[in-house]
Structure 1
Amino acid sequence: QKKKIEEANKSPRLDDLKSEIDALNEMASDIAISQLMNGQSIHIKDEYEIEYEPVYKVTFKKIK
Protein backbone atom coordinates (compact mmCIF):
# COMPACT_ATOMS: atom_id res chain seq x y z
CA GLN A 1 0.00 0.00 0.00
CA LYS A 2 2.79 2.40 0.94
CA LYS A 3 4.55 1.71 -2.35
CA LYS A 4 1.40 2.59 -4.33
CA ILE A 5 1.13 5.91 -2.51
CA GLU A 6 4.79 6.69 -3.17
CA GLU A 7 4.38 5.88 -6.88
CA ALA A 8 1.26 8.05 -7.10
CA ASN A 9 3.15 10.98 -5.56
CA LYS A 10 6.25 10.43 -7.69
CA SER A 11 4.45 10.56 -11.03
CA PRO A 12 3.19 14.19 -10.82
CA ARG A 13 6.59 15.34 -9.55
CA LEU A 14 8.34 13.55 -12.40
CA ASP A 15 5.96 15.13 -14.91
CA ASP A 16 6.65 18.57 -13.40
CA LEU A 17 10.40 18.03 -13.68
CA LYS A 18 10.11 16.89 -17.29
CA SER A 19 8.06 19.98 -18.14
CA GLU A 20 10.59 22.23 -16.41
CA ILE A 21 13.49 20.62 -18.31
CA ASP A 22 11.65 21.05 -21.61
CA ALA A 23 10.98 24.72 -20.83
CA LEU A 24 14.63 25.34 -19.91
CA ASN A 25 15.84 23.62 -23.08
CA GLU A 26 13.48 25.73 -25.18
CA MET A 27 14.67 28.89 -23.45
CA ALA A 28 18.34 27.97 -24.06
CA SER A 29 17.54 27.32 -27.73
CA ASP A 30 15.78 30.67 -28.06
CA ILE A 31 18.73 32.49 -26.51
CA ALA A 32 21.20 30.67 -28.77
CA ILE A 33 19.22 31.53 -31.90
CA SER A 34 18.97 35.17 -30.83
CA GLN A 35 22.72 35.34 -30.27
CA LEU A 36 23.38 33.68 -33.61
CA MET A 37 21.10 36.14 -35.41
CA ASN A 38 22.97 39.03 -33.77
CA GLY A 39 26.29 37.65 -35.00
CA GLN A 40 27.45 36.64 -31.54
CA SER A 41 29.20 33.38 -30.75
CA ILE A 42 27.52 30.87 -28.48
CA HIS A 43 29.34 29.47 -25.45
CA ILE A 44 27.76 27.30 -22.79
CA LYS A 45 29.59 25.80 -19.79
CA ASP A 46 28.15 23.78 -16.96
CA GLU A 47 29.09 23.97 -13.29
CA TYR A 48 32.07 21.65 -13.96
CA GLU A 49 33.44 23.95 -16.70
CA ILE A 50 32.51 21.45 -19.43
CA GLU A 51 31.83 23.31 -22.68
CA TYR A 52 28.90 22.54 -24.94
CA GLU A 53 28.48 23.50 -28.56
CA PRO A 54 25.14 24.11 -30.22
CA VAL A 55 23.64 21.54 -32.56
CA TYR A 56 21.23 23.10 -35.03
CA LYS A 57 18.13 21.19 -36.00
CA VAL A 58 15.07 22.34 -37.89
CA THR A 59 11.88 20.36 -37.69
CA PHE A 60 8.43 21.01 -39.06
CA LYS A 61 5.07 20.08 -37.71
CA LYS A 62 1.68 20.11 -39.30
CA ILE A 63 -0.38 23.23 -38.67
CA LYS A 64 -3.76 22.34 -37.23
Structure 2
Amino acid sequence: MQDLQEIFNRVQENKKKLKDLKDAYREALKGSESYIEAEESLKTLREKKKSIETDLKSQFSNEFIQMDDIKIDLASDQEMINDIAMTMVMKGETVSVNDKYENEYEPLFTVKFKKVS
Protein backbone atom coordinates (compact mmCIF):
# COMPACT_ATOMS: atom_id res chain seq x y z
CA MET A 1 0.00 0.00 0.00
CA GLN A 2 1.31 3.42 -0.90
CA ASP A 3 2.11 6.05 1.68
CA LEU A 4 -0.58 8.68 2.28
CA GLN A 5 1.94 11.52 2.05
CA GLU A 6 3.31 10.25 -1.30
CA ILE A 7 -0.15 10.14 -2.82
CA PHE A 8 -1.00 13.58 -1.42
CA ASN A 9 2.20 15.01 -2.93
CA ARG A 10 1.38 13.42 -6.30
CA VAL A 11 -2.12 14.94 -6.22
CA GLN A 12 -0.65 18.37 -5.46
CA GLU A 13 1.85 18.05 -8.35
CA ASN A 14 -0.86 16.97 -10.79
CA LYS A 15 -3.11 19.85 -9.73
CA LYS A 16 -0.24 22.27 -10.43
CA LYS A 17 0.41 20.71 -13.87
CA LEU A 18 -3.30 20.93 -14.70
CA LYS A 19 -3.41 24.59 -13.64
CA ASP A 20 -0.36 25.40 -15.77
CA LEU A 21 -1.90 23.72 -18.83
CA LYS A 22 -5.21 25.55 -18.34
CA ASP A 23 -3.37 28.86 -17.98
CA ALA A 24 -1.49 28.27 -21.24
CA TYR A 25 -4.76 27.46 -23.00
CA ARG A 26 -6.43 30.63 -21.66
CA GLU A 27 -3.50 32.71 -22.90
CA ALA A 28 -3.85 31.19 -26.37
CA LEU A 29 -7.57 32.02 -26.37
CA LYS A 30 -6.88 35.62 -25.39
CA GLY A 31 -4.62 35.94 -28.42
CA SER A 32 -7.30 34.75 -30.85
CA GLU A 33 -9.22 37.57 -32.56
CA SER A 34 -12.19 35.35 -33.47
CA TYR A 35 -12.44 34.14 -29.87
CA ILE A 36 -12.51 37.73 -28.58
CA GLU A 37 -15.30 38.60 -31.05
CA ALA A 38 -17.29 35.53 -30.04
CA GLU A 39 -16.90 36.46 -26.37
CA GLU A 40 -18.22 39.97 -27.04
CA SER A 41 -21.24 38.55 -28.89
CA LEU A 42 -21.81 36.14 -26.05
CA LYS A 43 -21.68 38.96 -23.51
CA THR A 44 -24.33 40.90 -25.45
CA LEU A 45 -26.58 37.84 -25.66
CA ARG A 46 -26.16 37.12 -21.95
CA GLU A 47 -27.23 40.67 -21.11
CA LYS A 48 -30.30 40.27 -23.33
CA LYS A 49 -31.09 36.91 -21.70
CA LYS A 50 -30.69 38.42 -18.23
CA SER A 51 -33.09 41.24 -19.15
CA ILE A 52 -35.73 38.76 -20.33
CA GLU A 53 -35.29 36.64 -17.19
CA THR A 54 -35.67 39.71 -14.96
CA ASP A 55 -38.90 40.68 -16.72
CA LEU A 56 -40.33 37.19 -16.27
CA LYS A 57 -39.17 36.89 -12.65
CA SER A 58 -41.30 39.88 -11.72
CA GLN A 59 -44.34 38.00 -13.03
CA PHE A 60 -43.47 34.89 -10.99
CA SER A 61 -42.56 36.50 -7.65
CA ASN A 62 -44.81 34.18 -5.60
CA GLU A 63 -43.30 31.11 -7.24
CA PHE A 64 -39.78 32.34 -6.49
CA ILE A 65 -40.69 32.84 -2.84
CA GLN A 66 -41.98 29.27 -2.75
CA MET A 67 -38.80 28.02 -4.45
CA ASP A 68 -36.63 29.78 -1.87
CA ASP A 69 -38.66 28.27 0.98
CA ILE A 70 -38.37 24.80 -0.55
CA LYS A 71 -34.60 25.21 -0.99
CA ILE A 72 -34.26 26.09 2.70
CA ASP A 73 -36.39 23.08 3.68
CA LEU A 74 -34.30 20.79 1.46
CA ALA A 75 -31.03 22.02 2.96
CA SER A 76 -32.38 21.54 6.47
CA ASP A 77 -33.68 18.05 5.73
CA GLN A 78 -30.41 17.07 4.02
CA GLU A 79 -28.43 18.19 7.07
CA MET A 80 -30.76 16.17 9.30
CA ILE A 81 -30.32 13.09 7.09
CA ASN A 82 -26.53 13.50 7.27
CA ASP A 83 -26.58 13.81 11.06
CA ILE A 84 -28.85 10.80 11.55
CA ALA A 85 -26.82 8.65 9.13
CA MET A 86 -23.53 9.60 10.79
CA THR A 87 -24.97 8.78 14.22
CA MET A 88 -26.17 5.39 12.97
CA VAL A 89 -22.77 4.60 11.43
CA MET A 90 -20.99 5.58 14.64
CA LYS A 91 -23.28 3.19 16.56
CA GLY A 92 -22.39 0.42 14.09
CA GLU A 93 -25.88 0.22 12.61
CA THR A 94 -26.57 -0.42 8.93
CA VAL A 95 -27.69 2.70 7.10
CA SER A 96 -29.81 2.62 3.95
CA VAL A 97 -32.96 4.23 2.56
CA ASN A 98 -35.29 3.37 -0.32
CA ASP A 99 -36.97 5.69 -2.80
CA LYS A 100 -40.53 5.28 -4.05
CA TYR A 101 -39.30 2.85 -6.74
CA GLU A 102 -37.64 0.66 -4.08
CA ASN A 103 -34.14 1.64 -5.19
CA GLU A 104 -31.81 1.32 -2.22
CA TYR A 105 -29.39 4.09 -1.29
CA GLU A 106 -26.39 3.84 1.01
CA PRO A 107 -24.53 6.79 2.53
CA LEU A 108 -21.34 7.96 0.88
CA PHE A 109 -18.73 9.52 3.11
CA THR A 110 -15.76 11.48 1.81
CA VAL A 111 -12.60 12.72 3.43
CA LYS A 112 -11.20 16.10 2.52
CA PHE A 113 -8.05 17.75 3.76
CA LYS A 114 -8.03 21.39 4.79
CA LYS A 115 -4.90 23.48 5.08
CA VAL A 116 -4.19 23.93 8.79
CA SER A 117 -2.26 27.19 8.73
> Which of 16, 19, 33 is matched with 2:72 structurally?
19
Report the CA distance between 1:57 and its aligned residue. Answer: 2.9
TM-score by length of 1: 0.75
51, 59, 84: which is aligned to 1:5?
A: 59
Q: Does 1:30 align with 2:30?
A: no
Q: Quick one: which amino acid aligns to residue 17 of structure 1?
A: I
Query: With structure 2 as the length reference, what TM-score do the two structures score?
Result: 0.44
The residue that corresponds to 1:43 in the other structure is 96
1:60–1:28 CA distance, 2 compared to 1 (3 A): farther
Kindly indicate which of the two structures has a greater share of residues assigned to helix: 2
Gaps of 5+ in 1: none
Q: CA deviation at 1:11?
A: 1.1
- 1-side partners of 2:111 and 2:73: how far apart? 22
AA paired with 2:89?
A: L
| Percent of residue pairs bearing the same amino acid type | 36
The structure showing larger relative contact order (alpha-carbon pairs under 8 Å, at least 6 residues apart) is 1
Q: Residues of 1 paired with 2:86 and 2:77: CA distance?
A: 14
Alpha-carbon distance in structure 2 between the residues aligned to 1:9 and 1:57 = 38
Q: Which has the larger radius of gyration?
A: 2
The 1:11/1:58 distance shift into structure 2, 3 A limit, reads farther
For the residue of structure 2 that corresponds to 1:48, the secondary structure is coil
Match of 1:33, SS? helix
